[in-house]
Amino acid sequence: MHDFGQILDNRVLLVALLACLIAQICKLAVHLIQHGKVNIRVLVETGGMPSAHSALVASLATGVGQTLGWATPDFALATIFAIIVMYDAAGVRQAAGKQARILNQIIDELFREHPTFNEDRLKELLGHTPFQVIVGSALGITISCLAGPAY
């Protein structure tokens, strides 16, 4: 149990989590600007601007590079992990969101023809656009650089 308390001493982890939190708060501000109202739900939803997943993993990779060195296997591992997460956010999850949108349209048409058919709508905003991923990763790198190396 003593080792568990040392998690709070892991500055790379804490800065990465901070980057994720800041990205989520930015989503709240972006939603307010776009829709003119506060929607607290965006703090826990996937998708949107900027990508919090990208901010998290980009900050993590940057922190590992700053702390352990840019030529270490640790940095390579963190970077490959970040690339996979960001590719998934902009690729696979974005495609799944588009498919959900189409399926929801089909469900809407079935409701009109068969009012007794009652299925829940699928979540459409699952992934990110490439721009949202780039902004999220830039935010994560910036936060990690501002926080400085975790020596």
User: What are the tens digits of pLDDT across the range 8-41?
Assistant: 889 999 999 999 999 999 999 998 998 899 888 8
Q: How confident is the model at residue 88 (pLDDT cuts 50, 70, 90)?
A: confident
What count of Cα atoms within 13 Å lies in the side-chain half-sphere of residue 107?
A: 13
Q: Is residue 139 scored above 70 in pLDDT?
A: yes
CB 82 within 8 A of CB 102: no
Handedness of CA 64, 67, 70, 72 (dihedral sign): negative
Closest to 142 measured CA to CA, from 43, 80, 63:
63
Residue-wise pLDDT for 51-71, tens only, equals 999 999 999 999 999 999 999
Angle (deg, nearest 10), helices 11-35 and 52-68: 150
CB 15 within 8 A of CB 143: yes
- End-to-end Cα separation, the chain, in angstroms: 24
Predicted pLDDT at 89: 83
Q: Which residue has the higher pLDDT, 28 or 107?
A: 28
Whole-prediction pTM: 0.78
Predicted pLDDT at 147: 92
